[in-house]
Amino acid sequence: MATLTRDEAQTRARLLDVHRYTIDLDLSDAAAPAGSGTFRSRTTVEFTARQTGDTFAELLPARLHHAELDGTPLDPAALHDGRLPLTALTPGPHRLTVDADMAYSNTGEGMHRFTDPEDGRTYLYSMCCMSEAPRVYAAFDQPDLKAVFDLTVTAPPGWTVLGNGTATREAGPPTATGERWRCATTPPISTYLMAVAAGPWHTVRTRHAGLPFALHVRQSLAEHLDKDAEEILDLTRRAYDRYHTLFTEPYPFDSYDQAFVPEFNAGAMENPGLVLFRDEFIHRSAVTDTQRQTRGVVIAHEMAHMWFGNLVTLRWWDDIWLNESFAEYMGYQVLDDTTAFRPWTEFSVSRKSWGYDADQRPSTHPVAPEPDAVPDTASAWLNFDGISYAKGASALRQLVTWLGQDAFLAGINGHFTRHRFGNATLADFLDSLARATERDVHDWADRWLRTTGPDTLTPLDDEAHPAGGGPGTEPGRPGGWLLHIRHTGSRPHRIAVGGYDTTGRPVGEPFLLDLDTPDGGSPEPVTVPRPGPRPDLLVLNDGDLSYTKVRLDPHSWHTARHTLAALPDPLTRAVVWTAARDMVRDAELAPAAFLDAVRAQLPAETDTALAEGVLAFARTQIADRYLDDTDTPDAPDAPGTPGTPGTPGTPGAGQAGHAPPGPDGSRRTAALRTLHATAQELLDRAAAHPGGPALRLAAARTLIATATAAETGTLRRWWHAGTVPGGPELDPELRWQLLHRLAVLGATDADEIRAEEDRDPGATGKEGAARCRAALPDPAAKAAAFDAMFSPEDRLSAYLFTATAQGFWHPEQRRLLQPYLPRYFAHLPELAARRGHALTEAACRHAFPRGFTDHRTLRLGEECLAGEDRTPTLRRHLGDQLDDLRRALRVRSSERAAAHS
């Protein structure tokens, strides 16, 4: 399909006003085993042309039966590349009618069809964002041509149909083809927000504030929804009520359905009145409190879109941040306001790192890119990333800190009222804020939203800055000291600065500090006089109010390594851990020093989100990528040797002793054993903590993920016992995780995987089995997995592709996998051209050979990108993987240099 450009959309918007879509979908044979693979879609679009002109409608049919404009048939052969020309339009009203067969999808785009392997029932749902509506119905597919929607659906008997408006089954017995459903007419919405879901759903209904609320899942998840339904509905009600205290505009639609659907690519989609979630949010197995919290954040996030995104919609995709940053911020803040969860801690240690990482790659972009930076829908897809979500939400949090909540809310409420059921731009949003405050929000936006990269704040000690005093009393300043901060970057920041002693106790209250270097930064540090002795640990951006990397001075890092777990606020601990993480990624702190801190401090951690975030970084980045196990240092320090603080900015600075190699000479194995021991101690200590079950589960997952060949006997004992000693029972999720690790280590076989698949016959079991089969260190298993992913038959759904990719590459299997390196890069462009955005992203993210941190992999990837006709999605996501690989190589090089210096 031809990609819609911004210029084409603007031209069409000047020509047309679109009033109504009347859509009739015939899904009656969707559940038939020998179904056609298509559904019938009949669309009538009522619109007005403002002047004489030519335009087109988008449509991607399997077969176009008939199309007519104002009663005059159109030539079906004129449909080309997804565009149906409409020529010589005259000023005035028009009616376009299209009758077509449309293909079902297995990639989560268009009309996705899923047959549950557990019970054979079939379910359908649409995903029209951002340019997939023409796979479902004929449309003028751009966000600023909003219209009302009337939808009717013919579905198999016994099914339930859901839509943007309340759906009701028409009276009378089923027809020969099925039952007819009609959805209430919507207010004006954009084409990408039209939604339908159909199937034999299990439903839990209630009413709140006079509106029908409902939850829907496939039948095989019914018992799991019933277990969680009250929690989900309680969170939904809390969010709804909170938004009605914050916003003056009431909820703008007639019902609120939340459907948890299979094989959904995104976390969720904010369709008006019918939010779709991936059904992993309906938990089949034990979960941590962080997972429950994340589900709550997503629920609140999607509801925020009902105002920002649905009531007021962006005009073009350069303003996607207006949708996503706002919903991201509100999701976390509303959950923080209305529940006992502490979501900003997870945001700081995990979600925000997504933004920092994306913002330091060559593919970075401003939160609000210039219009010409998003010239078409293909490029717009690339901005659904950590910048538009996490960085944008952080910017809004800083805006609220700087502007004040009252002014912020006054501005956005004026914005909702002014653009109700319409479209708006960044300029419109800023004008609304400017009406509510005397502060210069336009300048703030230029410096925060139009710039790239994170700022960095570094505290300087007496060695780094001659005027500094280091710990204790500042020379020449009786009873006080000077805080020196180097600010690299150009954004204004309002931050809190916290001080702590060697036991982790606060030294006074954190104080607010405004930092501003409008000229793009200054070599001279900001100096702030402070009373009393200098704290042993200085934490810049305490409370994580701003978006900026922060550094720990050498004495603060030394203190943190011994007191981090004792800091009273988990958000403070998150800021310190994130600072250490960023220092590792920037080659300012040795990976082994981070591991030493993990071993010393993490077993006493009581916040599950913190424990999970730190362990995930240590496991997937430090152990798998940053430790060079091909070049072991000549004289490693003994295990547990305390580190010596270094100077930030010096390669290898702040490092503790280098991780000694394991028995096989691998420093990666040694790191895995360090993390394994850490997880075991965390599990043992968690028994005495109120949040123990969640911490024990997080620890058990890490114990499994860090097991080495020496622990296969232990894993086997757990497998046969059905439990991790002192921890949780092996429910389906943990069983698949444990079996996967056994497969990686060569301690299981295809027969055992097949037996577990028979034990867990649903979709998750199919994915677990695919992951395990691909992980077997067997030439035939690897060949079958690679062929399943990249053969032109495209047998795998997006989820089964991802599961297979997750099982394929492992550092333990480098010798076996060497021949697949060139094959991966040779096949990737063909897959990207053939299978579209979702599969390309999965192939770059999950199928990238992460176990190979070497220059050969980098060279092969660069040669792949240098080829012609690479899709934008491939260029972006493969380019990001290669940049992460370059960073890992820099960290390794820096560590080797420090080891031999």
At residue 85, φ and ψ (nearest 5 deg) are: -65, 140
pLDDT of residue 637: 28
Strand duo 148-155 + 122-127: pairing? unpaired
pLDDT at 656 over 60: no
What is the C-alpha separation between 285 and 734, in angstroms, rounded? 8
Question: Residue 86 and residue 78: Cα distance in Å, rounded?
Answer: 10
Tokens 């785009």 appear where? 109
Rounded to a whole number of angstroms, the CA Rg of the chain reads: 28
Q: How far is CA 12 from CA 47, 48, 105, 373, in A?
A: 12, 11, 29, 20
Alpha helices by DSSP H, 375-421: 377-380, 392-403, 405-418
Encoded tokens for 425 = 């731009």
Q: Considering only CA atoms, which of 749, 830, 818 is closest in space to residue 789?
A: 830
What is the amino acid identity at position 753? Answer: I
Q: How far apart are CA 790 and CA 81, in angstroms?
A: 25
Question: Cα–Cα distance between 88 and 675 in angstroms, integer?
Answer: 69
User: pLDDT at residue 695 above 70?
Assistant: yes
Q: What is the mean pLDDT of residues 248-265?
A: 98
Which positions are catalytic? Answer: 302
The CA distance from 673 to 706, in Å, is 7
pLDDT in tens, 549-559: 999 999 999 99
The confidence score (pLDDT) of residue 247 equals: 98
pLDDT band at 703 (very low <50, low <70, confident <90, very high): very high
Cβ-contact 808, 843 below 8 angstroms: no
Residue 846 token pair: 């999950």
Residue 32: CB atoms within 10 Å: 10
| Residue 139 token pair | 């449309």
Q: How many angstroms separate the Cα of 30 from the Cα of each of 227, 637, 797, 860, 887? A: 30, 65, 17, 43, 48
Q: How many residues does the chain have?
A: 901
Could you tell me which residues come within 8 angstroms of residue 702 by beta carbon, excluding any fewer than 6 positions away? 615, 619, 675, 676, 678, 679, 682
pLDDT reading at 93 higher than 60: yes
pLDDT of 519 reads: 61
The answer to whether the beta carbons of residues 654 and 590 sit under 8 Å apart is yes
Q: Residue 791 in contact with residue 830, Cβ under 8 Å?
A: no
Percent of the chain scored above 70 by pLDDT?
Answer: 93
Which of 10-19, 271-280, 423-432, 461-470 has the lowest average pLDDT? 461-470
pLDDT in tens, 441-468: 999 999 999 999 999 999 997 544 443 3
Q: Which two tokens stand for residue 76?
A: 């079906």
Domains of the chain: 1-197 (2.60.40.1730), 459-471+548-709 (no CATH)
Count Cβ neighbours within 10 Å for each residue of 498-523 and write b for 16 or more, e otherwise: bbbeeebebbeebeebebebeeeeee
Backbone dihedral angles phi then psi of residue 502, each to the nearest 5 degrees: -70, -10
Please give the pLDDT value at position 34: 67
- What gap in Å lies between CA 126 and CA 799, rounded to an integer? 16
Please say if the pLDDT value at position 639 is more than 90: no
